[in-house]
Amino acid sequence: LSQMWGPSCFCLILCLWACLDALPVAVDKTKVSPPVEKLEPPESVDTGLHYDRYLREVIDFLEKDPHFREKLHNTDMEDIKQGKLAKELDFVSHHVRTKLDELKRQEVNRLRTLIKVKQDMNGEKGIKVDHQALLKQFEHLNHMNPYTFEVEDLDRLIKSATNDLENFDKERHEDFKRYEMTKEHERREHLKTLDEEARKKEEEHYEEMKKKHADHPKINHPGSQDQLKKVWEEADGLDPSEFEPKTFFKLHDTNGDGYFDEQELEALFTKELEKVYDPTHEEDDMMEMEEERLRMREHVMTEVDTNRDRLVSLDEFITATNRKEFLEPDGWETLEQNPMYTEEELKEFEQHLGREQQELNLRSNELLKQREELERQQEQLNAQKMELQQAVEHMERLKTQKTEPPGQAKGQCNLFPLFWSKAFCPVIWNKIQPLSQVSVMCLSAVCSVKYFHPHIQMDHLLSLSKDLGFP
C-alpha cells in the first residue's frame, strides 16, 4: 500500500470491512516530496464475520486493479450500497478475475465442508437441521455458480457485509443478554439446593457484592471533554489544562489513517472502565465491562459520526468538540442502572431452557435404550460364537480319528445318541449302515451338536460337515 490514504477509499471498506485498511490513492510522485520516515500500513481488523478471510482476499485483489481503484474514488457511499460499484467488475483485468474465481471456489468448498460437519454433528446429537440457517451461510455469494466470480457475487458480498456489520452489535447485545439471564438462572437454581440458613447467607453475600460493585467513582460521559481530558492526562501524560482536540486525535489515531475506527474509539474508554471493573475483584464481571465498552462506543458513534460510515474523521471530531454537549454533558448511567432484561423475559428464558432440557432428557433416554439393546444383541452374538467354536473344535477332533476303537463292532460308533440305534429307528440304521466309519462319526457329531446346542444355525453345521468330507 502507498503512504497516502484518501477519505473516499473508506466507502467500500465501510461496507465490506468495518474499519479495515483504507485503499491507496494514486499520486503524482513528481509533485509530492517523499516523507522522511516510511510508515507501515495499518494492520487489518477482524470484522468478526464468518466469511472475513474471503472478504479480505477479494478486497486485496480488487484494489490491485487500477480501473477498479479509480472508480472506487469516484463512488459515494449510497452508490456502493446499491451495488453500482459491483458493475465495474466487468472491466477488471483478466488476472484479477482469474484469482477471484479461484477464491470463490475455495470459499464454496469451505462452506460445503462446514455445512457437512454441522449436519453430521446435529445428526449424532439428534438435533433437527435448520436448513434456512445453513442456506444463510451462502448469502454472500452465488452458490448456484460455484466456479466463477461474477458481478452478482460482488454485489452479494457488499450487501451481505453491510447488513451483517450493521447487525453485528445487535447480536453482541443479544449474546450478552442471554449470558446475564443464564447467570441469574444458575444462581437461583443453586439457591434451591441450599437449606434455609445457607440460602440466607448466599442472598446476603449476593446483595453485598452488588452494593460493592455499584460503589465506584463517577463515570464521565463518553466522548465529553472531561472524559477525553482524563485520557490526555493519565494515558498521554499531558497537562489537562493544555488539552487540544486536534493533537489528541493524532495521538490516538494509532494507524495514522486520519480516522477513528471502532477499535480506536473503544480504547479511549479504558480509563473510565477501570473505575468500575477490576479483574481481581469478585464483584466485577469482565463480560459486563466489554458490554459497557460497546455501549460507550455506540453512543459516541451516534453523536459524532454524522455521515454514518462507522468512522470518525478529524473534521467530525473537531465539530463534536465545539458542541455544548461536549462541554456540559449529561450523566452516564452504567449497566447496573440499566438492567438488560425484565423479570418476565427471565421467566420466558427459563421456560425455554426447561423445554430444551426435556428434549435432551428424552433423547438421552432413547440413546440409553439403544445402548442396552445393542449390548443384549452383542451378548447373544458372543454366546452363539462360543457355541459355534465348541462345535468346530468337537468336529475337528472327530475328523482326526482315523481308526475304530478296539472292541467295537464294525459300523457302530460309541458317539451315537440313543435315537440312532437299530432298535430305536431301523430305517435310519439301514440308511447309515453302508457309510464309512468316519462319515458316521461326523454325522453323529453334527446331530449331537444340534441336539445339545439348539441355538446354532443348521446352515453353519451343514457347511462344517461338508468341509469335513461328509457326503
- Residue 110 CB neighbour total at 10 angstroms: 15
Shared-domain flag, residues 208 and 276: yes
Residue 268 has phi, psi (to 5 degrees) of -70, -15
User: Domain total for the chain?
Assistant: 3
Closest CA to 225 of 296, 327, 150, 74: 327
Shared-domain flag, residues 158 and 77: yes
Shared-domain flag, residues 436 and 336: no
Domain that holds residue 93: 7-162
Q: What does the alpha-carbon distance between residue 456 and residue 465 come to, in Å, rounded to a whole number?
A: 14
355-365: string of b/e by CB count within 10 Å (b at 16+)?
Answer: eeeeeeeeeee
Residue 259, SS3 per DSSP: strand
Shared-domain flag, residues 132 and 207: no
pLDDT at position 398: 82
pLDDT at position 174: 94
pLDDT at position 229: 96
End-to-end distance of the chain based on CA atoms, in angstroms?
A: 89
* Residue 1 domain flag: no
pLDDT at position 131: 63
What's the predicted TM-score (pTM) here?
Answer: 0.60
Shared-domain flag, residues 327 and 256: yes
* Residue 171 domain flag: no
DSSP string for residues in 76-118: -HHHHHTTTGGGGGGGS-HHHHHHHHHHHHHHHHHHHHHHHHH
Shared-domain flag, residues 19 and 113: yes
From 276, 307, 341, give the residue that closes a domain. Answer: 341
pLDDT at position 446: 57
Shared-domain flag, residues 29 and 67: yes
- Residue 116 CB neighbour total at 10 angstroms: 10
pLDDT at position 39: 36
Shared-domain flag, residues 387 and 433: yes
From 311, 341, 371, give the residue that closes a domain. Answer: 341
**pLDDT means over runs of 10, the chain (471 residues):** 39 43 43 42 59 87 87 74 80 89 90 78 63 72 86 86 82 94 96 95 96 93 96 95 96 93 94 95 95 96 89 95 91 89 95 92 92 94 90 84 53 45 50 53 58 57 57 50
pLDDT at position 444: 60
